[in-house]
C-alpha cells in the first residue's frame, strides 16, 4: 500500500460550490489540512468563476465548465509547481468561487439634501433615492482590489462603498443639470443613465459593473412641498371672491344640519327674525291710543366687494383699479375700448369693450341737435 493510499482521505478530488444564500459574492472552498489531488475535477457552474490563489499569488481563473486539474488546464500553477519537469504530486492552493450573477434591488439614497439652483424657485434642497443592480465582471480584479482573504464576502460589504460613489456622482449631476424641479419626474430615466455612465469607470476599477440604475423619487423639503400644494390649490380655486361665498354658504348649510350647538343657535336666530317680522305686522293693527313699540334695529347686509381690474399698458400689467378710476381714465383718454383688462377668475386678458361692466364707461356721442324752429311773425 503506497503512501497516497494511506493519505487518500486528505486529498480533494471534487471541487464545486452551490449557493443558496442569494447574497454571497465570494466563497472560499475549504482546503484547510487537505491537498488537491492532481487530476481532480473542478465544476464551475453558470454564473460562477473559480479563482486559484497559490502562495498568496493569483494563479488561475476558470470560467463555467468542467475541468480536470492537470498541466494543460493550470498554466500558472504548472510553472509554480514545476509540473513541467514531470511532477504529478498533489498541491495546496486556496480556491475562491466568485458569483458573477446580478445582485438586484440594492438601495441608494441621499443622506443629506443636495443643493441645486432651480430656474423658477431659486436655490432648493433636493433628496433622492432609488435602486440599482451590480455584478462582478472581472473576478481577478475584484479579488485583489476588494475581497482579499475574506472567506465569505457578501453584497452588503461592498454596497455601502458603492452607495457613496453613487450619491457623489448624483449630487454633481443634479446640481449641474439645470432641469427645473417640476420637470425632474419626467427626466428620471435620462438622469439615471447619466449617473450610471458617470460612475462606470470608478466601478470598473473594482471589477464590477452597474447594469441597471433607477431613480425612484426626487423630492423637495416638506415645508416647500406644503407651499407648493398651496400654490396649486390657489390655481384650482380661481376666483377667490366666489370661492369665499361658496365656502360661507357651505358652512351655514352644514351648521344648520347639526343637532344642537351651532345649528340650534342658527335656528334660534332664524326664529327670532321671523318673530320680529310678525311683531312688526301686528303693530300696524294696535288699538287707538296705544304707544307704538320701537322696532328693533337691523344690521344692513354686507356690501358686495368691488371688482378690481388690471389693465395692459405698453405690454405691462398695471393696477388694480376700481370701476370709478377706470371711468376717469376713459374720460382722459388713457382707457379705451381696445385696452386689455383682467380680473381674478377671468380666463385670460380681454378687450374692455367685451366686458359688460366696463363697456358702459364708453358713452356714444349724441347726435347733433335739431335746427332751431323759426318764430312766427
187: left (phi over 0), alpha (psi -120 to 50) or beta: alpha
Strand pairing category for 57-62 and 94-99:
unpaired
Burial 297-332 (b: 16+ CB within 10 A, else e): eeeeeeeeeebebbbeeeeeeebebeeeebbebbee
Residue 237: CB atoms within 10 Å? 15
Residue 20: CB atoms within 10 Å? 5
Cβ-based neighbours of 235, under 8 Å, separated by 6 or more? none
C-alpha–C-alpha distance, residues 174 and 181, integer Å:
10
C-alpha–C-alpha distance, residues 215 and 195, integer Å:
10
Domain chopping of the chain, boundaries: 3-99, 103-224, 309-359
Residue 377: what pLDDT? 56
Homologous superfamily of the 103-224 domain (CATH): Band 7 domain (3.30.479.30)
Query: Is there a common fold for 103-224 and 309-359?
Result: no
Closest among 129, 134, 130 to 157, alpha carbons compared: 134
CA distances from 60 to 57, 95, 173, 200, 229 (A): 10, 10, 40, 26, 61
Cβ-based neighbours of 18, under 8 Å, separated by 6 or more? 45
C-alpha–C-alpha distance, residues 45 and 228, integer Å:
55
Give the HSE-up count for residue 346: Cα atoms under 13 Å, Cβ half-sphere. Answer: 17
Series of mean pLDDT values for 10-residue runs along the chain (377 residues): 45 88 90 85 94 88 92 78 69 91 93 86 89 95 89 89 92 84 86 91 94 91 78 66 70 69 49 48 50 61 71 83 83 84 85 81 63 69
Q: Which architecture does CATH list for 309-359?
A: 2-Layer Sandwich (3.30)
Amino acid at each position: 500500500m503506497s503512501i497516497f493510499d494511506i493519505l487518500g482521505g486528505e486529498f480533494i478530488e471534487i471541487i464545486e460550490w452551490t449557493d443558496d444564500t442569494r447574497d454571497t459574492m465570494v466563497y472560499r472552498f475549504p482546503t484547510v489540512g487537505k491537498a488537491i489531488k492532481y487530476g481532480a475535477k473542478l465544476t464551475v457552474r453558470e454564473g460562477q468563476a473559480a479563482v486559484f490563489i497559490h502562495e498568496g499569488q493569483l494563479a488561475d481563473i476558470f470560467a463555467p465548465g468542467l475541468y480536470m486539474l492537470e498541466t494543460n488546464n493550470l498554466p500558472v500553477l504548472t510553472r509554480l509547481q514545476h509540473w513541467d519537469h514531470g511532477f504529478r504530486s498533489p498541491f495546496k492552493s486556496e480556491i475562491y468561487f466568485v458569483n458573477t450573477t446580478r445582485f438586484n434591488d440594492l438601495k441608494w439614497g441621499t443622506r443629506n439634501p443636495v443643493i441645486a439652483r432651480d430656474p423658477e424657485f431659486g436655490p432648493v434642497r433636493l433628496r433622492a433615492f432609488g435602486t440599482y443592480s451590480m455584478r462582478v465582471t472581472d473576478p481577478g480584479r475584484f479579488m485583489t482590489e476588494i475581497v482579499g482573504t475574506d472567506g465569505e464576502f457578501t453584497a452588503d460589504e461592498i454596497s455601502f462603498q458603492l452607495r457613496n460613489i453613487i450619491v457623489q456622482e448624483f449630487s454633481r449631476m443634479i446640481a449641474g443639470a439645470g432641469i427645473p424641479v417640476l420637470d425632474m419626474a419626467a427626466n428620471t430615466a435620462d438622469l439615471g443613465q447619466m449617473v450610471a455612465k458617470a460612475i462606470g469607470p470608478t466601478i470598473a476599477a473594482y471589477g464590477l459593473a452597474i447594469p441597471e440604475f433607477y431613480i425612484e423619487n426626487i423630492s423637495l423639503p416638506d415645508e416647500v412641498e406644503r407651499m407648493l400644494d398651496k400654490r396649486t390649490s390657489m390655481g384650482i380655486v380661481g376666483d377667490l371672491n366666489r370661492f369665499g361665498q361658496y365656502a360661507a354658504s357651505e358652512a351655514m348649510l352644514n351648521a344648520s344640519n347639526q343637532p344642537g350647538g351651532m345649528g340650534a343657535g342658527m335656528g334660534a336666530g332664524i326664529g327670532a327674525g321671523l318673530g320680529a317680522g310678525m311683531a312688526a305686522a301686528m303693530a300696524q293693527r294696535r288699538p287707538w291710543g296705544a304707544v307704538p313699540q320701537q322696532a328693533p334695529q337691523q344690521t344692513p347686509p354686507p356690501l358686495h366687494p368691488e371688482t378690481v381690474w388690471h389693465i395692459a399698458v405698453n405690454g405691462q400689467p398695471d393696477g388694480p383699479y376700481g370701476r370709478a378710476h377706470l371711468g376717469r381714465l376713459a374720460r382722459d383718454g388713457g382707457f379705451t375700448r381696445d385696452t386689455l383688462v383682467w380680473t381674478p377668475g377671468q380666463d385670460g386678458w380681454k378687450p374692455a369693450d367685451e366686458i359688460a361692466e366696463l363697456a358702459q364707461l364708453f358713452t356714444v356721442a349724441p347726435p347733433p341737435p335739431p335746427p332751431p324752429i323759426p318764430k312766427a311773425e
